[in-house]
Structure 1
């Protein structure tokens, strides 16, 4: 039971900071927060993502490119142009790394106002940090695993972020339903998205990328991350930007 609880905490902790900080804040800037709150969120992202830490800058820039070039040859990740899920994720990793290390030219429109903390990113993305977290995860399993099958969850802990990426970047472009017609293959993967905390409403998001609420188009589309954001907004931790779009479902 302890191992299952540990995986649940890693799953939702890492996922929350991915969708809240890296996606809705860094990439789309659907809300604002103070410099102090931003730095604290950087640290919390590292703490909960651990060995899977993703840079807000690398993620934010790459995700903007995904929206601009969705399902074209320039898309950083698309089932339409990758032979398998593994080739897609490897290409995603390569582009993400090249953006972070500034090995490729990126148009200014993709980098504008994307938060970056270079020193912290260098530490959190280092092999020292990643291997240290891996050792911590393995030690946790050594102490608390009570059955052989629980060790099957260790790779999930070590590769949590890529697994999240596969679910949305691959499967949410293949399976699901559509609220809005679009030029890309984005789909809403779940009717009730409590597995991916709102990220599964991918078709909604591609239609209205600037909305902080990924759900809310149909009655059953509840976005858990947005509900948490409303609480943080109420207490003044963040300030959600008002949405200026009028939703009209096809």
Structure 2
């Protein structure tokens, strides 16, 4: 049971940072935060994503391109212009690396005002950091399953480790593939974006892709009365505490 709890904590904290910090803040700038809190969430994102850390700068550039070129050949991660889920992930990885390493220079509209802490990104993206996180995850499983043989742990749980190693890309793959192939549409956005879940608890609101592509600067991804975006109440709470300031407030 303890490993299932660990897995769920890693899943949801990593996903929250991707949705709240990388997506809603870095890419869309739906709210303001001070430099202190920006640096805090940089570090928190690294802690939660660990071996699959994604740079806020590179993520924001790719995501803005995704909105500008949604489901066209220029979209960096459309399921409709790749053979399968894995080729989409590989294409996204290569484009991400090009912008992360500054091999490609983005258009100004894609890079304007994105958060950038290059020194930290280099540390967080280093092979030493990624491998260290991977060893940390593996040690937790080895200790719980093989060394201490804690109740509720089983050998099959080792198969969860690859998801820990690739948590950020796994979340991105689910959102970009499912959110543009399966589900229903509230709006005609001239693309193939879909809302995959009525209550998007699994992906913290990220699978309301059709709503989001229609209203890209709206911090609440849910639109209909029966839809619920779990990240939005947290955004409202952080606004109420003064940690962030919503642009629409």
TM range (shorter): over 0.9
Q: Secondary structure at the match of 1:219?
A: coil
How much has 1:105 moved relative to structure 2?
2.6
After superposition, the CA RMSD in angstroms is 0.9
Distance 2:47 2:186 in 1: 36
Distance 2:198 2:33 in 1: 31
Q: Is the 8 A contact 2:30 2:247 kept in 1?
A: yes
Distance 1:59 1:225 in 2: 19
Q: Secondary structure at the match of 2:22?
A: helix
Counterpart among 154, 169, 183 of residue 190 in structure 2: 183
Aligned length: 242
Distance 1:189 1:162 in 2: 18
What aligned pairs does 1:23-34 form with structure 2 within 5 A after superposition? 23-34=23-34
Distance 2:169 2:114 in 1: 22
> Counterpart in 2 of 1:167?
174
Distance 1:163 1:111 in 2: 24
How much has 1:163 moved relative to structure 2?
1.3
> Counterpart in 2 of 1:5?
5
> Counterpart in 1 of 2:132?
132
Q: Is the 8 A contact 2:27 2:63 kept in 1?
A: yes
How much has 1:233 moved relative to structure 2?
0.5
Check if 1:41 corresponds to 2:41. yes
> Counterpart in 2 of 1:248?
none
How much has 1:225 moved relative to structure 2?
0.7
> Counterpart in 2 of 1:204?
211
Distance 1:78 1:191 in 2: 22
Q: Is the 8 A contact 2:28 2:217 kept in 1?
A: yes
Cα deviation digits, residues 109-162 of structure 1 (max 9, x gap)? 100000000000000011111000000000000011331111111111111112
What stretches of structure 1 move > 4 A for 4+ residues in a row? none
> Counterpart in 2 of 1:222?
228
> Counterpart in 2 of 1:105?
105
Structure 2, unpaired ranges of 5+: 146-152
Distance 1:139 1:30 in 2: 38
Structure 1, unpaired ranges of 5+: 244-250
Distance 2:167 2:36 in 1: 27
Check if 1:234 corresponds to 2:240. yes
How much has 1:182 moved relative to structure 2?
1.4
Distance 2:58 2:242 in 1: 27
What aligned pairs does 1:18-167 form with structure 2 within 5 A after superposition? 18-145=18-145, 146-167=153-174
Distance 1:76 1:171 in 2: 15
Q: Secondary structure at the match of 1:36?
A: helix
Cα deviation digits, residues 205-226 of structure 1 (max 9, x gap)? 00000111111x1112111111
Q: Is the 8 A contact 2:65 2:76 kept in 1?
A: yes
